[in-house]
């Protein structure tokens, strides 16, 4: 991956997270920013980007199952565990300050132990489950992505027929909701691994770039996402449609995933032509991108907490902007001790992994099985 393309992907990563923040801020202040309507679509961009990055790191760095497992666990839990704790704390504090700030949909505080354990194991969205982590709605996508990591590891590091058998068992375990969006994530893997798309001509790249922009315009202009959900509703009915939860747009998510994949293919080829511009903005982009995971996973509970602090039945624009600003600042400060300390989490997880391997696997399993 070239430096210029890496900078561009970091820009996309932060931009997508910020769009999701704007989407979830709409109940606080009804702004007219068109881009704020596309929170779900920003998550689809994340999925394609995630698949691409995972394919890249396994090709260049994490070439064994142990390295892959430890690195993924460090990346995920360095933010997921703090997110669970912080969500609980700020929800309790915010509701104590002003209960009127929290609509009914964000008061998911019953069965707290089950919600925490399920969030730690990423089982919130299995089959027909939809276990919300308190007020933290965006946590749903991590419950999808972790299982995509698992599926990718099985198909990459397990050999022979048994990898398909284990893959099938995992798919049956997670259920249709997570499985239906897996092809979108796998598009990112395909974009990275495909030699054909890596070696296209510059003319083809520019054509793909224009087509991706036009495809995005069509998606927005004709409400393609909404049409896909409505089509599914007409087929399965309202009760089953509700059970699809965040996967109810899957039909048109495939279209959007293809648009995003085409865009990445094009920009990967032509980004060297913009290298000078991208290199000049590298430092701020890297700083912003270094806090993206925390921003994504924590912005919802932080928004509602600051809303409780400055509560008013009708917020002024200035107060709304202050809440957004404080949410951004808090997310960046939290990132300093979470995802930006990922190396520490990796060290701890490596120690746990080695302990389990030596004390459990090597002692309990017969030598013939270990070999």
User: What per-residue string of b and e applies to 105-144 under the rule 16 or more CB within 10 Å gives b?
Assistant: ebebeeeeeebbebbeebbbbbeeebbbbbbbbbbbbbbb
Contact 56, 153 (CB under 8 A): no
pLDDT attached to residue 32? 80
pLDDT attached to residue 165? 96
Name, in order, each residue with C-beta under 8 angstroms of 195's C-beta and a sequence gap of 6 or more: none
pLDDT attached to residue 360? 65
pLDDT attached to residue 243? 94
DSSP assignment of 144-209: HHHHHHHHHHHHHH--SHHHHHHHHHHHHHH-HHHHHHHHHHHHHHHHHH-HHHHT--HHHHHHHH
Helix H or strand E encompassing 84? helix 65-97
The first and second tokens of residue 259, run together, are: 């648009």
- Rounded Cα distance, 361 and 270, in Å: 49
Q: pTM for the complete prediction?
A: 0.93
Residues of the chain with pLDDT under 50: 368-371
Best CA proximity match to 171, nearest among 191, 148, 187, 201: 148
Contact 349, 73 (CB under 8 A): yes
Treating both helix axes as pointing N-terminal to C-terminal, what angle do 176-193 and 140-157 enclose, rounded to 10 degrees? 60
SS (H, E, C) 276-345: HHHHHCHHHHHHHHCCHHHHHHHHHHHHHHHHHHCCCCCCCHHHHHHHHHHHHHHHHHHHHCCHHHHHHH
pLDDT attached to residue 368? 42
pLDDT attached to residue 370? 42
Domain range annotation of the chain: 3-370
Helix H or strand E encompassing 15? helix 3-25
- Rounded Cα distance, 176 and 247, in Å: 9
Contact 320, 296 (CB under 8 A): no
């Amino acid at each position: 991956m070239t430096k210029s393309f890496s900078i561009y992907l970091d820009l996309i990563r932060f931009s997508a997270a910020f769009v999701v923040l704007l989407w979830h801020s709409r109940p606080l202040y009804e702004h007219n920013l068109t881009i704020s309507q596309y929170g779900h679509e920003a998550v689809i961009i994340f999925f394609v980007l995630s698949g691409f990055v995972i394919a890249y790191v396994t090709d260049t760095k994490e070439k064994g199952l142990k390295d892959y497992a430890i690195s993924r666990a460090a990346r995920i839990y360095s933010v997921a565990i703090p997110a669970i704790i912080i969500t609980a704390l700020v929800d309790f504090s915010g509701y104590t300050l002003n209960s009127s700030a929290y609509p009914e949909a964000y008061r998911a505080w019953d069965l707290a132990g089950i919600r925490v354990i399920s969030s730690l194991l990423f089982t919130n969205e299995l089959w027909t489950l939809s276990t919300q982590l308190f007020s933290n709605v965006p946590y749903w996508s991590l419950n999808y992505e972790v299982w995509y990591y698992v599926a990718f590891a099985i198909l990459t590091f397990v050999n022979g027929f048994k990898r398909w058998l284990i893959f099938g068992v995992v798919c049956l375990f997670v259920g249709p909701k997570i499985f239906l969006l897996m092809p979108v994530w796998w598009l990112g893997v395909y974009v990275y691994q495909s030699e054909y798309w890596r070696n296209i001509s510059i003319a083809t790249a520019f054509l793909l770039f224009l087509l991706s922009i036009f495809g995005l315009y069509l998606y927005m202009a004709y409400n393609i996402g909404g049409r896909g959900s409505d089509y599914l509703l007409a087929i399965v009915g309202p009760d089953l449609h509700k059970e699809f939860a965040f996967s109810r747009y899957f039909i048109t998510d495939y279209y959007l995933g293809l648009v995003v994949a085409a865009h990445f293919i094009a920009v990967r080829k032509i980004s060297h032509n913009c290298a000078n511009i991208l290199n000049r903005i590298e430092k701020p982009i890297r700083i912003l991108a270094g806090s993206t995971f925390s921003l994504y996973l924590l912005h919802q509970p932080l928004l509602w907490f600051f809303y409780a602090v400055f509560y008013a039945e009708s917020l002024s624009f200035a107060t709304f902007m202050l809440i957004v600003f404080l949410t951004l600042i808090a997310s960046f400060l939290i990132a300093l001790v979470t995802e930006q300390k990922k190396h520490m989490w990796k060290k701890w997880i490596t120690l746990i992994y080695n302990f389990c391997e030596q004390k459990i696997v090597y002692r309990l399993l017969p030598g013939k099985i270990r070999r």
